[in-house]
Structure 1
Amino acid sequence: MDVVVTEVAARTRFEARVGEALAGHLEYARLGGKILLTHTEVEPAFEGQGVGGELARAALDSARVNGLIVRPLCPFVAGWVRRHPDYVELVDPVDRMRVMAAAKVD
């Protein structure tokens, strides 16, 4: 399955599409030099197929390129970062302990 993720700044979200179908989105808010990743939603027909992970990766890669500090307020994104430690350095220090400590109870 080919998932294409694009940022739709006018809607403050990243959108994942499979062909013409909207497969999911990740909402965010910009606050100065930070990006708050607030909510990830995947359409039922695309659940369990990696769409959420593609959304998280795209948002985090965008933050890295743009020099933004990430606040993963969305539980899905926080869990994704836990499983992909090469993105931990992007996480705001205020959130880092919370994000990584949750790994002990997963």
Structure 2
Amino acid sequence: MDVVVTEVPERHRFEARLNGSLAGHVEYARLGGKILLTHTEVDGAFEGKGVGGELARTALDSARANGLVVRPLCPFVAGWIRRHPDYVALVDPIDRMRVMAAAKVAD
């Protein structure tokens, strides 16, 4: 099953659909050249199917394509970035130490 993620700017979020059903979303706020990823939610029926990961990846890829600096305020997105270090360069320096330090604490 393919997760399809689309941006819904009027709702300030990216939405994930699986087989046409809304499976989850990641909320954001844009401030100048930054995007704050504030909350990720996946419907319980779709947990463990890669929905959260696709939401994070799509939001981060969009930020990269649009030249935005990322503030991963959502713990899920911050954790996803820790596991995918090729996205760390997108993270605002103010958050980078916090995001990466959590990985050392978890080890």
What TM-score, normalized to structure 2?
Answer: 0.98
Report sequence identity in percent: 83
2:33 and 2:95 map into 1 onto residues whose CA distance is 15
Q: Which residue number corresponds to residue 15 of structure 1?
A: 15
Amino acid at match of 1:105: V
Q: Which residue number corresponds to residue 49 of structure 2?
A: 49
Aligned residues: 106
1:50 and 1:71 map into 2 onto residues whose CA distance is 22
What's the CA shift for 1:20? 1.6
2:19 and 2:35 map into 1 onto residues whose CA distance is 28
Q: Which residue number corresponds to residue 95 of structure 1?
A: 95
Q: Which residue number corresponds to residue 104 of structure 1?
A: 104
What TM-score, normalized to structure 1?
Answer: 0.99
Q: For 1:40-81, what per-residue CA distance to the aligned partner results, in whole angstroms no more than 9, with x for missing partners?
A: 000000011110000000000000000000000000000000
Q: Which residue number corresponds to residue 33 of structure 2?
A: 33
Amino acid at match of 1:86: D
2:79 and 2:9 map into 1 onto residues whose CA distance is 24
Spell out structure 1 runs of 4+ moving beyond 4 A: none
Unaligned runs of 5+ in 2: none
- Secondary structure of the corresponding residue to residue 48 of structure 1: coil
Unaligned runs of 5+ in 1: none
2:87 and 2:15 map into 1 onto residues whose CA distance is 20
What's the CA shift for 1:105? 2.0
2:10 and 2:39 map into 1 onto residues whose CA distance is 16
1:59 is the counterpart of 2:54: no
